Amino acid sequence: MDRVALRGLKARGHHGVFPREREEGQTFIVDLVLGLDTRPAAADDDLAKTVHYGIVAEEAVAVVEGEPVNLIETLAERIAQACLKHEGVQEVEVCVHKPDAPITVPFDDVTVTITRSRV
């Protein structure tokens, strides 16, 4: 299976279990790896035969900016389901970064990574 990757999609969302997270919001970063067969698109040099990653990026950002959820696990699942709605996408890996998570010790990042497929 071929891979199309989008890394570092940034959006502001109001996700989290604490009232401050819901009220103030924070930046979330999303990495996507889409699994699909790119041979038909490559053979005909035809965008219609692959996934339009610009549209996928816009949809992932819309999920982050949309309805708040408590957990980034839930956010990752919603993003994965949006990606799998694209006909050619057979599998997706979603990594949601929460670099401003409310943790009381020094840290670089918090991530949740999931893989979902049509199977």
Residues with catalytic roles:
98
DSSP characters over 15-43: -SSSHHHHHH-EEEEEEEEEEE--HHHHH
Q: What CA–CA distances, in Å, run from 92 to 43, 45, 100?
A: 23, 23, 25
